């Protein structure tokens, strides 16, 4: 090879690395008021969990003032494959804030009002019924009573529609929930964690004709409400849901690695899901995880095409991409001079009084409220503390979490892929403590 050829090859290689590096710029933690030394506690925490085989690996990103000060990949993404900064994760319920932003964009465009009945756009939601259990000993087990009012778009955004997840029979068993879910089962409704072989419209139209668990506005019940919003976006925008999100959110925010179905060339970047007993036994999940009404299909993430587009669960993404989405929210609707939402709309989304006296306790604790697609910390007197009143965040089934602290101008993204759900809450909270305690100004 001649010198000139070596020069050209070197230039090419340099240009590849430069292009990759340009995706994000790191800042010294001290330059944004964070302590490098204290962030080492976070390294130690994750390394310990990886060494003890509680998790296979993770990617953590912390940014302050829009600048990435900590971006660390640890452990394995898959068998024989190390975790990388650009590893792609099943973010599952972290899809919900994206769907909620899409709805709010249509709201700003005057295409819908939050007070609109869902039935205005999806007629199957007209004249809904609510299950009322009858006292024990009664001839009837239950009655279907007319809903006191229509389910509104606001109800869907705030999980006050009375629509459930089937999996909730495992979280909060009660006869009424079991009755509602039995209708869901008979009607072929699924939680969407395994991608059904039908369109979102097919499923939502059946769901609309099934009874509710509670009268709209009377309970905070985490469920399929955001899947309904995904279909509502299709009806209102006239676009397929994934096309809308791709062109209106992912492309403007340059979220290049966020997808409903993964392109073939990125398949190798998906992290495996790992089953952990949190005692040192860690196995790669190869089959669907079925536990009562909970059905998870981590391997569906490798499907490169399909019909179902879940507004509550389908998106795959990276730490950097989701940081861009979170930073847009922290910036009150804009990023890199691209405005997706107005300041007023983001303020509306993160207001704490949408669910009145209810608390969003499913992933957090009391003292957490739910806005329009996001949980918001309301006080500092309960078990889960993310550092400040006004912090907003949400999480995903395979152990992913994002947190935005408007007061400290900070975004924290923590991504891993660990099952079963629930055992990782402690680690999540420790990551938040480490991130917040690195603040040094």
Partner 1 sequence: MKNRKFFPVILLLGLMLSSAVNATGPRVTPGMLVVPENEIFAVDAQPFVGTDLMNEGMNVEIVKAALTSVEINSTLTILPVAKMVKYYLLQEQVLAAHGQYINLSKKDKKSLIFVPISLTKENYFYYHPAHKSGFNWQGKLSDLSGYSYGSYQEEDVAPYKTAGIQIVPGRLHALLRKLISNEIDFIRMPVLTKNWMLDKHFPLEKENIIAITTEAEWVPQFVIFNKNHPDGEVLARKLAQGLAITIGSGQYATILKKYLVDDEVSERIKRLNDLIQP
For the CB of residue 117, give the shortest distance to partner 1 in the complex, in Å.
5
- For partner 1, the closer of residues 203 and 346 by Cβ is 203
Dihedral sign, CA of 391, 395, 399, 400?
negative
For the CB of residue 248, give the shortest distance to partner 1 in the complex, in Å.
27
Q: Does the footprint of partner 1 cover residue 192 (CB under 8 A)?
A: no
Alpha helices in 22-143 (DSSP H): 36-51, 95-108
Residues 6+ apart with CB under 8 A from 238: none
Q: Does the footprint of partner 1 cover residue 127 (CB under 8 A)?
A: yes
Q: Does the footprint of partner 1 cover residue 126 (CB under 8 A)?
A: yes
- For partner 1, the closer of residues 97 and 216 by Cβ is 216
For the CB of residue 188, give the shortest distance to partner 1 in the complex, in Å.
4
For the CB of residue 164, give the shortest distance to partner 1 in the complex, in Å.
15
Q: Does the footprint of partner 1 cover residue 144 (CB under 8 A)?
A: yes
- For partner 1, the closer of residues 201 and 387 by Cβ is 201
Q: What is the DSSP letter of 38?
A: H
For the CB of residue 404, give the shortest distance to partner 1 in the complex, in Å.
30
How far is CA 365 from each of CA 38, 162, 226, 312, 369, rounded to the nearest angstrom? Answer: 27, 20, 21, 21, 9
Query: Would you call 259 helix, strand, or coil by DSSP?
Result: strand
- For partner 1, the closer of residues 207 and 362 by Cβ is 207
- Within residues 255-274, the interface with partner 1 by CB under 8 A covers none
For the CB of residue 156, give the shortest distance to partner 1 in the complex, in Å.
12
Contact 134, 169 (CB under 8 A): no
Q: Does the footprint of partner 1 cover residue 24 (CB under 8 A)?
A: no
Q: Which range in 146-154, 220-228, 295-303, 379-387 contacts partner 1 by CB under 8 A?
A: 146-154
For the packed helices 200-207 and 225-237, what is the interaxial angle rounded to 10 degrees?
120
Instruction: Please state the φ and ψ torsions of residue 45, each to the nearest 5 degrees.
Output: -60, -50
Query: Would you call 376 helix, strand, or coil by DSSP?
Result: strand
Q: What is the DSSP letter of 273?
A: P
Taking CB under 8 A as the criterion, the residue among 13, 187, 267, 338 binding partner 1 is 187
Contact 69, 27 (CB under 8 A): yes
C-alpha 113: how far from its chain's center? 24
Number of residues that bind partner 1 (CB under 8 A): 28
Q: Does the footprint of partner 1 cover residue 140 (CB under 8 A)?
A: yes
- Which is nearest to 210 in space by CA: 178, 184, 191, 233? 184
Report how far residue 391's alpha carbon sits from residue 38's, in angstroms, rounded to the nearest whole number.
21
392 to 411: interface string for partner 1, x by CB under 8 A = --------------------
Report how far residue 231's alpha carbon sits from residue 213's, in angstroms, rounded to the nearest whole number.
21
For the CB of residue 219, give the shortest distance to partner 1 in the complex, in Å.
16
Q: Does the footprint of partner 1 cover residue 186 (CB under 8 A)?
A: yes
226 to 245: interface string for partner 1, x by CB under 8 A = --------------------
- For partner 1, the closer of residues 14 and 356 by Cβ is 356
Report how far residue 321's alpha carbon sits from residue 327's, in angstroms, rounded to the nearest whole number.
10
Contact 170, 195 (CB under 8 A): no
- Within residues 203-222, the interface with partner 1 by CB under 8 A covers 205-206, 209-211, 216
C-alpha 437: how far from its chain's center? 25
How far is CA 397 from each of CA 12, 90, 135, 402, rounded to the nearest angstrom? Answer: 41, 9, 35, 13
Q: Does the footprint of partner 1 cover residue 178 (CB under 8 A)?
A: no
Report how far residue 327's alpha carbon sits from residue 322's, in angstroms, rounded to the nearest whole number.
8
Contact 243, 193 (CB under 8 A): no
C-alpha 32: how far from its chain's center? 27
Q: Does the footprint of partner 1 cover residue 85 (CB under 8 A)?
A: no
Q: Which range in 10-18, 145-153, 218-226, 380-388 contacts partner 1 by CB under 8 A?
A: 145-153
Taking CB under 8 A as the criterion, the residue among 74, 95, 152, 160 binding partner 1 is 152
Q: Which range in 65-73, 198-206, 323-331, 353-361 contacts partner 1 by CB under 8 A?
A: 198-206
- Within residues 92-121, the interface with partner 1 by CB under 8 A covers 115-117, 119-120
Q: Which range in 11-19, 139-147, 223-231, 278-286 contacts partner 1 by CB under 8 A?
A: 139-147
Residues of the shown chain interacting with partner 1 in the complex, contacts defined by CB under 8 A: 115-117, 119-120, 123-124, 126-127, 140, 143-144, 149-150, 152, 182-183, 186-188, 197-198, 205-206, 209-211, 216
């Amino acid at each position: 090879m001649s010198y000139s050829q070596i020069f050209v090859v070197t230039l090419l290689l340099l240009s590849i690395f430069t292009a990759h590096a340009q995706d994000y710029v790191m800042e010294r933690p001290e330059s944004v008021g964070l302590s490098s030394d204290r962030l080492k506690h976070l390294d130690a925490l994750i390394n310990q969990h990886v060494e003890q085989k509680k998790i296979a690996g993770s990617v953590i990103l912390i940014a302050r003032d829009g600048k990435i000060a900590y971006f660390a990949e640890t452990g394995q993404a898959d068998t024989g494959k190390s975790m990388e900064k650009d590893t792609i994760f099943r973010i599952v319920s972290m899809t919900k804030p994206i769907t909620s932003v899409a709805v709010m964009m249509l709201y700003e465009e005057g295409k819908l009002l939050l007070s609109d009945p869902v039935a205005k756009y999806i007629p199957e939601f007209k004249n809904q019924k609510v299950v009322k259990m009858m006292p024990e000993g009664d001839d009837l087990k239950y009655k279907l009573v007319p809903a006191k009012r229509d389910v509104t778009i606001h109800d869907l955004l705030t999980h006050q529609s009375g629509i459930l997840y089937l999996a909730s029979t495992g979280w909060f068993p009660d006869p009424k929930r079991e009755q509602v879910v039995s209708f869901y089962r008979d009607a072929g409704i699924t939680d969407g964690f395994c991608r059904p072989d039908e369109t979102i419209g097919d499923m939502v139209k059946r769901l609309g004709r099934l009874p509710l668990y509670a009268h709209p506005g009377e309970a905070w019940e985490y469920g399929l409400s955001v899947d309904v919003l995904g279909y509502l976006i299709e009806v209102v925008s006239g676009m397929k849901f994934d096309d809308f999100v791709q062109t209106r959110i992912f492309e403007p925010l340059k979220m290049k690695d966020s997808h409903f179905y993964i392109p073939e060339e990125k398949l190798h970047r998906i992290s495996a899901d790992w089953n952990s007993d949190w005692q040192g036994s860690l196995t790669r999940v190869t089959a669907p995880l079925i536990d009562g009404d909970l059905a998870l299909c981590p391997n569906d993430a490798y499907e490169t095409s399909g019909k179902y587009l879940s507004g509550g669960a389908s998106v795959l993404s990276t730490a950097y991409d989701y940081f861009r989405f979170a930073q847009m929210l922290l910036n009150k609707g804009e990023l890199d001079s691209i405005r997706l939402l107005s300041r007023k709309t983001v303020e509306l989304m993160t207001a704490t009084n949408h669910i009145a006296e209810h608390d969003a306790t499913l992933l957090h604790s009391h003292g957490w409220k739910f806005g329009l697609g996001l949980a918001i910390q309301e006080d500092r007197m309960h078990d889960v503390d993310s550092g400040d009143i006004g912090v907003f965040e949400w999480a995903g089934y395979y152990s992913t979490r994002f947190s935005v602290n408007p007061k400290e101008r900070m975004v924290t993204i923590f991504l891993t892929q660990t099952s079963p759900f629930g055992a990782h809450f402690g680690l999540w909270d420790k990551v938040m403590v480490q991130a917040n305690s690195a603040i040094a100004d």
